[in-house]
Structure 1
Amino acid sequence: MEKQLRVGILGLGVVGSGAVKVLAAQQEKIKEQTGVTISIVKALVRPTEDKKQFAEDYGLELTTELTDIIEDSSIEIVIELIGKVDPARQFIAAALEKGKHVVTANKDLIAQHGVELVEIAKKNQVSLFYEASVAGGIPILRTLTANYLADEITNIRGIVNGTTNYMLTKMLEEGTSYDEALSEAQKLGFAESDPTNDVDGIDAAYKMIILTQFAYGMDVSLADMEIQGIRGLSIKDVLQAQKFGYEIKLIGESVKTEDTVHVSVAPALVSKSHPLASIKYEYNGVFINSTGIGQSMFYGPGAGSLPTATSVISDVTVIAENIHAGITGPQFNEYRKPLQLTPPEKDMATYYLAGSFESTVTVEEITELLAAVEVDVIDSAEETQENRKRIVVLTSNINRLQMEAAEAVFVKHGTLERRMKVMEA
């Protein structure tokens, strides 16, 4: 007998509507592959929304009450696409407690409350899947759980925020200022009217929290991370990086050193020969180093209605396959290890430091001062403008304590304008 699977959806915004469309377009293919006919039958909308025509077109029953979905015993899966942390957390918890599988794209929620929600899912023997919460249409999370199961990841680095990557591309290729690039991103819908989470690195940080859970089994929080966005990034730094042979990207990274991890989000100089340097505009890319596979990169659209919706429906089909096979409530990621943060003396990197000084200060003097705190300079540049001198240096491979000593040199003798890590090929 053919299996029928009924789904309820919370939210019919851009992604929610996209999920309905994707499922409708691929329903026959999914039935052939899974043996299950999946139908979204009921949708939660705000009282002020007019979704009547859309509901008629796709055979949906609309409701403004959550209980109409979670109390419906015929609905086995709930898709949450309303966004924000609250009330989404309460809605998902309620659905799980009613024995319904849940699929979400809510990265903020999963990064902050994923552990507690997974425990609720386990208790009720249902699944909580969230592939679309990281890098939109790139199937990176399921890849980490399946393809890297027999491998050891040593670091995972990525461009995981399309807004900032779009802005940096405009600054690099067109010489656009930070403010101009942000304004254009907002006009195109890549950036919100309040772009804080994007430009200050918070959005990328949430995604790195999730990637770290999948790569190493460790639960980090924002307080455990170094987070720096691109707010106020100078076009001077973008152009100087080019002269040194690099492009500036907002890089999220999670690096394993022995049994410890260091997770950060910050602008970085990426070598032009590194695969991540080729990723432009709103696209995302995740680059993985591991002991078995070696180097690999996953590239694709990081957001958007159809890419994100496709990832959401892919999660739904996996749950459908599990139900059809009689598999009870597997979780997306069962890998757990105690959190151990890398101590500052073992966190190594090369750095770009830029500062403003009195015109009498020379790059040679700054180089000598840095050498006195055991920081070698491998490249440098200086430029005099309006009785001030801008000095930029690339350091040797140093630890965080040495980096802080180098910063102190800039602060003591001038003004530190920008510090960034350097990624080689």
Structure 2
Amino acid sequence: MACTTATTTPTTTWSFLILPFLLYLDIINRGVNGAMISACLKKQKKSLDIKCPTGSMVQILRSFYGYSPNGSCHYNPDENNCTLDEEQNYPCIGQDTCSINLPSGNVGRMTNKCNNTNSNYFQVEYKCVKEEYTQDLCKKRYTTEQSGYISTPRYPKNLHGPFTCNMDIKVLPHQKIYLHIIDLDLKEKKGSNCTDYLYIDQKLTSITLCGRRSNDRIEIFHNEMKIKLTVGSKGSHKGLWLYYEAFPPLPTTSTITYEEDTNPTSTSTSLDVKETTTYMRSTIKVSMRNVHDSQTQKEQEKEDSMIFVAAVASGVIGTLVFILIGLLALLVFKIQKERRKKEIYISSTGRNLNLNHKSKTQTICNCGTFDV
């Protein structure tokens, strides 16, 4: 749950596999004011006081001690800061105001990363979440939203049992779920059983939680999660406040404005963060253009393939025609040659016959002359 207050990271754009969902979903507006407040310990300031607008709840993201070599009263990423997280369940979580006591003296807890140097400032990072953005666990049984806050009825006021509530959360098939426990305030376990408990079903395994905890994250390795809250009776416990988010997230856009308080005893940087999760038409146009370009490319490839086949076929046909013409030429040449041979044979045969006839005639003539 830890985060820095001066940056937001827009997620990268997903491919057109989610195009049907982009066409279906419009704009989801989640108004959240985030800020950080800090103080130097040597200033003898007794507490850090957080106040959210009416109708909002304080969500503590992170609290930590820090050491600044330059004596800064807040975390500076440009310095070689050493920090030590404060694991604390603040009762004011969920209220519209919160006062966090600072340690007495001029120094805080030692930070191991800086050779056990005593910290010289304390910092709290938080959000002011509008109550209207938190869903009642007992009123909504099923949701497919990408993220959202969930709380028990009357939160942060005490629970009124007995009752049992269920909610099913399902996101896209390629996603998993991160469940952030902002505040869990139920009865402590008695013996081996919890009388008031939160049951989390994640298909292959399940988790049962009770007692006190905050700023804890559970990773659900499926796109579906079932949660069940069982409360046995009335008590002095607030219940729970949860936040879930699908991962990897879908495209988002964020707008941030900064307001800095230059109080010499404390440093407070306020961020008016209005996160607008927008399945934007421009994204849809880009996706559709990608589809069109892909189809055009396929058609071009098909046309090129047909041209190549036609060229090959033309080459083959041309070669066959050339061979046929050559064979016809050879055939004509052979026929002419045979005809010429035949003519020469006939001509020579005729001359031989004439010579024989003349020879016989001369013989006969000679014989007749002798008899007389």
**TM-score of the superposition, structure 1-length normalised?**
0.20
Instruction: Name the one with the larger helix percent.
Output: 1
Q: Which has the higher contact order (CA 8 A, sep 6+)?
A: 2
**TM-score of the superposition, structure 2-length normalised?**
0.22
